[in-house]
Amino acid sequence: MLLVLLAGLAIFAKAQHPFDDLPRWDFWSPLAGGARFTGRYLSSEPGGIHLKRQSFEPIDLFQLREDKPSTNALLYGSVLLDPIFPADVTTDLAVQAAFQAAVGSIKTHANVHVSPEIKLVQATVFPLKVTGDNGESEMSILQDSTGADGRMYRFVSHVTFGFNFYLTLEDAKFNLIHRVVVALDREAEHNVFQHTFSPLEKGADEETNEAVECGLSEDECSAAPSGPRILSYNVWNTNPSSDVYGAGRRWDQYAKRLDHLVEFVKEAQADIIGFQEVRYDGVFGDPANHAQVKHLADRLPGYQYVYQAAMSYINSRMPHERIEEGPSILSRYPVVATDYLLLSRDPNDPNDSHQRLCLHAVVDYPRWGEIDVYVTHLSLSERSREQTKVEIWEYMRQGKGKTQVLLGDLNSEPQSLGIRFLSGQAELLGQTTDMKDAWLEVHKEAKPRSTDPDDRQHKFTFPSDNPSKRIDFVLYRGEGRVKECEIIGQEPTKDTKDFPDDVGMLHASSPVYASDHRGVIAEFK
């Protein structure tokens, strides 16, 4: 009887794991018949009920060490945190390729000198392993392919989007330390997601330090304002989709919209910018040109930039497709440190389905000091927004800058409890803040849903074609007062300004606005 039972269990176990003997290919050379997803998930299928809610700690991926691991399960969105620490960065071919891509990008795009002696001193590699169950397990799928012999072959694939390389470079000749994030996608193309630089040794070369602080231009340095101009702008990712203009026209229309947005940014003369909804779209644009942060950085030369994906959009029918979105920080002046905090969420709440985070950069502003810049884009769930606003406040209290600013599309109106909490007017979950709303320092609040033309034109930030609410903010604490605060980005492109404004922005005959949101610029003194 026991032997029969054991035999039955063995048959059951084999039936439970019918694909254990198949080869595992996470990446593969070109196959004669191509690789096809069978539609079968072997683990971590997306869209199910999540049994575990994650908790997170702030993380600086440049400072992560093998002997000091993070407790976070997620790197971001639907990607697991599973770093690799190369034993020798000089012999690791993948790291060296990323290093060459970083140096090439710096030489081409950055307003900074690079010597032939620039060297790579540290690298951490993050395989972008996908999870469909909020970090509980790694996603694996069944694939098949037709061989040259006409037969069908099957293999198992653990879904991986690619790799992110966090590189620290030192250039002793120019006394600079560079921190660069290079992404390697499944097309085997490199994209630069971050480039910041600052003096390697403060005070070692005052001329170099001054040049770094002032964008390598004495005129720019002498013209630097007494106080920073800080902008928050939701860029509306890569909208509109192909459904609006058709696939053939989409790129040109997107580029036209982004050019229009950048015109407003340049006119605002922002020193520090917090962008939201910055997207990497692996199915939009040519190879090596999928990263929206690159589209923005190329149009805004002279800015250092940081980007961190927050959410992933998993295509259940094409799980290797990489589309993700998050905030970005751009600065004319040295970014000396960066980190971020993944915010808590209820993955079973449809209004809280996307992972959110708060991105932080420390900017060394000339003649002012260090400014803590925080950028976020909050949930559609009010309950989640209230919880994460408290988390952001606790995160900000760890900063040490003379001034702290919180920028973002907060998906909340001024009269909400969450905004009154952030602007120091109400208690939330037993806590209070000492922050101020930069807008209210120089303006009166418009009545909710006001139809007054002046309110609609100058006091509301969303939506651009029918403005009715203020949900985009510059909040601050610490040193400095608000000199002025204005809303920008109201007008559509000149060639579409006479198009009908009542058809909705996702219509081919709508005026082309810079974004569905307007920007908010505050100058401090």
Model-wide pTM > 0.75: yes
* Alpha carbon distance 179, 335 (integer Å): 9
What's the mean pLDDT when you consider all of the chain?
Answer: 92
The CA-based diameter of the chain, rounded to the nearest angstrom, is 91
Query: Is the predicted pLDDT of residue 18 greater than 90, yes or no?
Result: no
Q: What is the amino acid identity at position 53?
A: R
| Spatial CA neighbour of 145 closest among 26, 43, 38, 39 | 38
Query: 518: burial class by Cβ within 10 Å (0-12, 13-18, 19+)?
Result: buried
DSSP annotation of 414: T
pLDDT at residue 11, rounded to an integer: 44
Helices and strands per DSSP (H, E), number in the chain: 11, 22
Name every residue whose Cβ is closer than 8 Å to that of residue 423 and which is 6 or more positions away in sequence.
414, 433, 435, 436, 437, 440, 475
Summarised one tens digit per residue, pLDDT across range 453-500 is 999 999 999 999 999 999 999 999 999 999 999 999 999 999 999 999
Domain layout of the chain by residue ranges: 32-197, 226-522
Which three-class secondary structure state does DSSP give residue 466?
A: coil
The pLDDT of 52-81, averaged and rounded, is: 95
**Per residue in 247-268, is it b (16+ CB within 10 Å) or e — as a string?**
eeebbebbeebbebbbbbbeeb
The pLDDT of 175-181, averaged and rounded, is: 98
* Alpha carbon distance 31, 151 (integer Å): 13
Range from 103-112, 213-222, 378-387, 500-509 carrying the lowest mean pLDDT: 213-222
Summarised one tens digit per residue, pLDDT across range 348-404 is 899 999 999 999 999 999 999 999 999 999 999 999 999 999 999 999 999 999 999
Query: Is the predicted pLDDT of residue 207 greater than 70, yes or no?
Result: no
DSSP annotation of 309: -
Query: Is the predicted pLDDT of residue 233 greater than 80, yes or no?
Result: yes
Structure-token match 């269990």, residue found: 9
* Residue 206 pLDDT class (50, 70, 90 cuts): low
pLDDT at residue 312, rounded to an integer: 96
Sheet holding 357-365, edge to edge: 335-342, 357-365, 369-377, 403-409, 472-478, 436-437
The CATH class, in words, for 226-522 is: alpha beta
